[in-house]
Structure 1
Amino acid sequence: MNDTRPILFFDSGVGGLSVLAATRALLPAASIVYAADSAGFPYGTKSEAEIAVRVPALLGRLAERYRPRLIVIACNTASTIALAEVRAALDLPVVGTVPAIKPAAAISKTRTIGVLGTDATVRQPYVDDLARRFAGDCLVLRHGSAELVRLAEAKLHGHATDPARYAAILAGLFGQAGGDRIDTIVNACTHFPLVADELAAAAPPGVEFVDGSAGIARRVAHLTAGQDWGAAPGEGIAVFTRGDADTAALAPALERFGLTRLESL
């Protein structure tokens, strides 16, 4: 029999689409369910306790409904807080998303790295550990921005965004002591690659941005190597925890990522 079980991507909003796109490039035949916790958005301003309870519960419900072969938590905040709890609760492979500090350290020439994420992500001990293990000889500066998440969501909705806002957000990194030496910035939120062009235009010349989407895609491809994807092209479903007019307005953008059906949880 054909195995049509999907890969389930999970994020608080639309940021995980950047990870989905990288995975689609490697696994074009895969069926996809993209789940956005729109009722809980944004995660970056929530407490660790709220996220640690909410994410495993939601993923349990999603796994029961869609029976995925693998789950990707395409959200740095949810991964750095709740990944272990989700893996303990579910009997299937779960791939997390963590800040790409290791590849950033590998390419930084000035040995000064910026980590741009949500407030909840940049304060996590998990980030301390990544910096200690993979960037011990680097100055690692961090800045959290809930506004940048909202700008990425606005762009996907087709709204114009102010270039000055991106420069102001980046000033939160470059304005710190030693920030003028930053040559590499980690996009430690999956929303941020969606505004990669805007960030690059606002950054000083020569600054490089990195994220973990390509590495996650390779990990998913490795874990599903040799598996059957069915005879038909993979289906794409987007499911939201709150279905409203704002969600419906995303339909054209979601179709560009191969998500042609909208559902509510």
Structure 2
Amino acid sequence: MTVAPEAPILFFDSGVGGLSILAPVRDMLPTAPIIYAADSAGFPYGTKSEAEIAARVPALLGRLVERYRPRLAVIACNTASTIALAAVRAALDIPVVGTVPAIKPAALLSKSRVFGVLGTDATVRQPYVDRLAAEHGADCTVLRHGSAALVQLAEAKLRGEPLDPQVARAALAGLTTQPGGERMDMVVLACTHFPLVEAELAAAAPHPMGFVHGGDGIARRIAFLTQGQDWPAAPAHGTAVFTRLDDQQQRLRPALARYGLDQTEQL
């Protein structure tokens, strides 16, 4: 199937977390047209039920694909991916790339054989995480903690607001205070919002630890799936699409522009 050069890549998240996936894709495919969709009316996903997310995400992505005709869709959200990825793939006739916790690289990198999975409450309780931990970290102690406050911290950071360092400290303490937590040397950032506050997490860490997430791997996957396709000769405009566009989203404009998203629309 021939793909028009102007056909965009569609990124989807509840908020701005997916920008941590967009950044490495921009580096790899610098002229790719981008539609970045944030479900601001449904934000945050991490505190919602599985049933809510399973109903909401495929319906929204269907509307977005109908409007923007992307060549590929990226669910740039761990919570939505672990719950709704199969349903979205069944509903759409384009490739769909999901975002899953980077448990395999954490297990490969951990020297102490204790690592943490820091995500949303909805993500860390998913059976998908159980399977990844059993498959890749069977000889490890895998600690989990969900932090809704850290999601809000990332959104606030991109709006340019002052940040409370206690939020990052409390999120890490949710892992380090568990049995074996004092030996934890790697943390999986299992929410796409969390790489945006990796510096704050590193500053709050009680001892040196590494942080891993899936952005680079997803960028490589997208490059593979689109190889041989045509792209515009020069960087295209990027558009941020919100399901609710109010003052909070307007305050994101300078940060969005840094990621090449210089236009804003409401779905």
| TM-score bin, normalised by smaller chain | over 0.9
Corresponding residue to 1:92 among 94, 111, 114? 94
Inter-partner Cα distance in structure 2 for 1:246 and 1:206: 34
Report whether the alignment pairs 1:209 with 2:196. no
Equivalences for 1:54-93 in 2 at 5 Å? 54-93=56-95
Deviations 1:162-187 (A, max 9, x none): 11221122110000011111000000
Tell me what 1:119 maps to: 121
Q: Do the aligned partners of 1:30 and 1:235 also contact (CA within 8 Å) in 2?
A: no
Corresponding residue to 1:179 among 178, 181, 185? 181
Tell me what 2:245 maps to: 243
Corresponding residue to 1:37 among 33, 39, 51? 39
1:238 CA drift (Å): 0.2
Tell me what 1:253 maps to: 255
Tell me what 1:138 maps to: 140
Corresponding residue to 2:6 among 4, 7, 11? 4
1:249 CA drift (Å): 1.3
Tell me what 2:108 maps to: 106
* Amino acid aligned to 2:242: F
What SS is found at the alignment partner of 2:144?
strand
Q: Do the aligned partners of 1:2 and 1:230 also contact (CA within 8 Å) in 2?
A: no
Inter-partner Cα distance in structure 2 for 1:174 and 1:22: 30
Q: Do the aligned partners of 1:2 and 1:231 also contact (CA within 8 Å) in 2?
A: no
Deviations 1:213-260 (A, max 9, x none): 010011001111121012342220000000112111111110000000
1:2 CA drift (Å): 5.1
**Over aligned residues, Cα RMSD in angstroms?**
1.0
What SS is found at the alignment partner of 2:6?
coil
Tell me what 2:223 maps to: 221
What SS is found at the alignment partner of 1:54?
helix
Inter-partner Cα distance in structure 1 for 2:179 and 2:233: 56
Inter-partner Cα distance in structure 2 for 1:54 and 1:35: 14
* Amino acid aligned to 1:133: E
Corresponding residue to 1:15 among 17, 33, 36? 17
Inter-partner Cα distance in structure 2 for 1:187 and 1:26: 22
Tell me what 2:235 maps to: 233
What is the percentage of aligned positions where both structures have the same residue? 71
| TM-score of the two chains, using structure 2 as the length reference | 0.98
Corresponding residue to 2:197 among 172, 195, 198? 195
Q: Do the aligned partners of 1:15 and 1:75 also contact (CA within 8 Å) in 2?
A: yes
Inter-partner Cα distance in structure 2 for 1:38 and 1:167: 26
Count of residues in Structure 1 that have an aligned counterpart in Structure 2: 265
Inter-partner Cα distance in structure 2 for 1:17 and 1:244: 19
- Specify every segment of 5 or more residues in structure 2 that has no aligned partner in the other structure, as ranges: none
What SS is found at the alignment partner of 1:260?
strand
- Specify every segment of 5 or more residues in structure 1 that has no aligned partner in the other structure, as ranges: none
Inter-partner Cα distance in structure 2 for 1:65 and 1:139: 45
